[in-house]
Structure 1
Amino acid sequence: MTAGIPIQTAAHLEQWHLESLKIDQAHQISTGVGITVAVLDSGVDSHRDLQPALLPGISLLDGAATSGQSDEQGHGTAIAGLIAASGGTDGASGIAPGSKILPIKILDAQGRGSTDNTAKGIRWATSHGAKIINISTASGPNIEVRKAIEEAIAADVVIVASSGNKPTHNVIAFPAYIDSVVAVGATGRDGAIADISTSGEKLDLAAPGVDLLSTWTGQTYQPGTGTSASAAIVSGVAALVWSRYPELSAAEVVHRMTATAVDKGAPGRDPEYGFGIVDPVAALTANVPPLETEPAAEPTATAQAAPVPNTMGRTAVILIAVIGSLIGVALVIALAVARPRNRAEP
């Protein structure tokens, strides 16, 4: 998320996205109370507008044994503010000001980090009560990050990630392109997809992401642009929905957002808007049929495999074990030689 010049007060600046999303109306129904959102980023500064929401987190950077409540870069503080700031008319307001922020510091002052720490951060968030994990970063594909995401999804966690910004990303970035992750693109004031927003078939939702005012380091504020901001908006909406409907599963929370999104572009899901622009009020109030689950097919006599002789079974196990070991060695070497690094989405 690219940011402008820090300002001392936000009171005189328009947070246009709040009006566009009818957040005042949404807050009459839900403010996100009871929901913890983990922010994997550059840490979160203890800004006055964030203090009611900020929980002790963790820094995964080498030699930085802190609670994640420091931010030398600013990106994480901005993301947290878009989700949960509660400054009201005298400061910045977030989408879910009743929610809690769990800061997990994985990026340094230059906005750089490792995929190792991304995977560790996802696992730490999952084991420390996060219901939603916001990942407004991108990196090269990584098997440990993918495994950590699979574990989080199995633990009933919603994961939201930014789709990436052009021209840095011309296709949906990792980890946003993973099917179980909610990939989010950016729209402007006019509701059209932003020029910087990366598109692709894996896109799930779009949300405001141009000139969004948020909290910044040093008790200041900054407007910023990027799909990072859009992901934060969707994380906030997910918190509103889950607080309103605590009985829902993570998949049902996502389903409520995609089923009620404002369809834009080509009818139905499309590469620019996904299912559409997220609509907090509709996600909170619409009559949304539950997700349909397909029953497992009953095995039939013709579908059952014939028994395999024991000798063949032993050979297969040995071959699989050897191949698996070789793959493991190759991965370890590849990661050690050229470990992908994360960057904060501009």
Structure 2
Amino acid sequence: MLVALAAPTPALADSVRDQQWHLGFMHVTEAQRISQGEGVLVAVADTGVAATVPELAGAVVPGKDFGGNTGDGTRDPAGHGTAMATLIAGHGRGTGKGVLGIAPRATILPIQLSPDFVFAMGYARDVAAAIDYAVSKGAKVICLSIGSGDADIVRTAITKALAADVVVVAAAGNKPDVGSVDFPAKVPGVVAVGAVDRNGDRAAISVAGPELTLVAPGVDITAVDAEGRTRIGTGTSDANALVVGAVALIRAKYPQLKGPEVVRRLTETAQDKGEPGKDPVYGYGVIDLVKALTADITPAPTSASPSPPAATGAGGGRTAAVLAAISAAVVVMVLIAVLQIIIRSRRRRP
């Protein structure tokens, strides 16, 4: 998802951390006292992730390049994927310095796609392959701060990822590039993320639509590019990366939770905005990290156990018929036994 960028500046000490206004807005310090994403593998399907960036030192494992080159995804010619990774798992450059991510102890699995964001069928095929690869490597959450163009092959990959208990988070899209929630964010089951500004109001660049799930800060977000320089971005890509980091925090704190319950923690605790309840502008609301990690969430109601499926195929009908006949015979035998008891009882009366 393309973003509006300010000119990169040298990553100088404390001023960089001070520029990250979203850290205070999201109460990240308090949240990280509870969880820091330990043990959670986060797949970033983007333009690659520069593993040499100090903020990501030791946090990036070898991945794969689906962008037409041979490699492990740890190079980033565009810088976009590296920025997303630092927003997710950046651990700074020492105490209080450099860019800090939401889940600084999470691990990044870099998956490189075309840096030109070419939305042709070939690109969609690469996105689908990237999702399948992330699942095969054990990723617990996939960051898709991209748009791929609607394609069945991507839908199928997402469906398989969700079935494998992977949380898929995607940027909703930026105006004027798109006018409604973009693909793959609009795929059912995907967490579609929009952006808000410093006041918590909808960012001018953020699209709206019924598929929107959550919103997070996405205006003037400070991250790091592939050259290690600070980069200030505005767009749903940045907001999306912050939500991905939140998922990593929850999956580390509650490893027993399945993907849908992880998402439910985010939606149930979000700060409601706009119309009451879920709406097309804010989704369920503005993400609240601390509540998502600490709130007492009532488990989702489970449906009644489904009836066993009817036997099918050769012999299936005969089996069902035999079982029905046996059941009927048992009922008749019970009735006969009851009648015999009643008759005997009446004969014994004086």
TM-score, scaled relative to structure 1: 0.84
CA distance in 1, matches of 2:131, 2:144: 9
Aligned partners of 1:60 and 1:105 also within 8 Å: yes
- In the alignment, does 2:53 pair up with 1:44? no
- Of 186, 201, 204, the match for 1:177: 186
- In the alignment, does 2:226 pair up with 1:192? no
Structure 2 unaligned spans of 5+: 314-350
Question: Bigger relative contact order, structure 1 or 2, given CA contacts below 8 A and separation 6+?
Answer: 1
CA distance in 2, matches of 1:122, 1:28: 31
- In the alignment, does 2:229 pair up with 1:220? yes
Structure 1 unaligned spans of 5+: 308-346
CA distance in 2, matches of 1:193, 1:174: 20
CA distance in 2, matches of 1:56, 1:74: 17
- Of 284, 297, 303, the match for 2:293: 284
Give the match for residue 27 of structure 2: 22
CA distance in 2, matches of 1:24, 1:223: 21
Alignment of 1:166-315 (within 5 A): 166-296=175-305, 298=307
Deviation at 1:52, TM superposition (A): 2.4
Deviation at 1:16, TM superposition (A): 0.3
SS in 1 for 2:55: coil
Aligned partners of 1:163 and 1:198 also within 8 Å: yes
Kindly provide the CA deviation profile for residues 171-198 of structure 1, in whole angstroms up to 9, marking residues without a partner as x.
1100101111000000000100001101
Deviation at 1:299, TM superposition (A): 8.1
How many residues matched?
303
SS in 2 for 1:190: coil
SS in 1 for 2:37: coil
Deviation at 1:294, TM superposition (A): 1.9
Give the match for residue 53 of structure 1: 59
Structure 1 residue identity aligned to 2:270: A
Structure 1 residue identity aligned to 2:284: F
SS in 2 for 1:144: helix
Give the match for residue 319 of structure 2: none
CA distance in 2, matches of 1:61, 1:23: 34
CA distance in 1, matches of 2:11, 2:206: 29
Give the match for residue 96 of structure 1: 103
- Of 6, 9, 16, the match for 2:8: 6
Aligned partners of 2:127 and 2:148 also within 8 Å: no
SS in 2 for 1:248: coil
Kindly provide the CA deviation profile for residues 213-235 of structure 1, in whole angstroms up to 9, marking residues without a partner as x.
00112121111000011110100
Give the match for residue 321 of structure 1: none
Where do 4+ consecutive residues of structure 1 move more than 6 Å? none
CA distance in 1, matches of 2:107, 2:308: 46
- In the alignment, does 2:75 pair up with 1:66? no
178 and 296 in structure 1: CA distance in 2 versus 1, 3 angstrom threshold: farther
Kindly provide the CA deviation profile for residues 233-276 of structure 1, in whole angstroms up to 9, marking residues without a partner as x.
10000000110001000111000000000001100000011000
SS in 2 for 1:161: strand
SS in 1 for 2:36: coil
CA distance in 1, matches of 2:48, 2:180: 27
Mark the structure with the bigger radius of gyration: 2
Aligned partners of 1:59 and 1:67 also within 8 Å: yes
Structure 2 residue identity aligned to 1:55: V
Give the match for residue 139 of structure 2: 130
Structure 1 residue identity aligned to 2:36: T
Aligned partners of 1:73 and 1:111 also within 8 Å: no
